[in-house]
Amino acid sequence: MRFKTTAYFQHVKTRPDRAIIKDEWILQVMNEPVHQEIQADGRIRRWAKIEEAENRYLRVILLADGETVHNTFFDRRFKEKTS
């Protein structure tokens, strides 16, 4: 991996629905999000559209340091806001 991760992420990454998520996609979301929110606990949620994954939106949850990946999943409910 080319980024820091939590033990939780390492565990969840073994699930079949999460194992398909490529590191390069995670890096794309980390570096070029289309939307970001800060949770009450300081964790950072970022989203980006992954064209290779049928244009689904990947949500990456980072720790408050902004560089440690805690969770990733395709977010069916996210809709990109257009201006």
Which domain range does residue 43 map to?
4-74
Residue 70 lies in a domain: yes
Q: Which value, to the nearest 10 degrees, does the dihedral of the CA atoms of residues 42, 78, 57, 53 take?
A: 150
Stated pTM of the model: 0.92
Residue 14 lies in a domain: yes
- Domains contained in the chain, number: 1
Residue 79 lies in a domain: no
| Ramachandran class of 23: left when φ > 0, alpha when ψ lies in -120 to 50, beta otherwise | alpha
pLDDT digits (tens, 9 = 90+) for 57-80: 999 999 999 999 999 999 999 988
**Structural contact between residues 44 and 61, judged by C-beta atoms closer than 8 angstroms:** yes
pLDDT digits (tens, 9 = 90+) for 7-63: 999 999 999 999 999 999 999 999 999 999 999 999 999 999 999 999 999 999 999
pLDDT for 82 equals: 63
Residue 10 lies in a domain: yes
pLDDT for 80 equals: 80
Q: What angle do CA 83, 37, 34 make, to 5 degrees?
A: 45
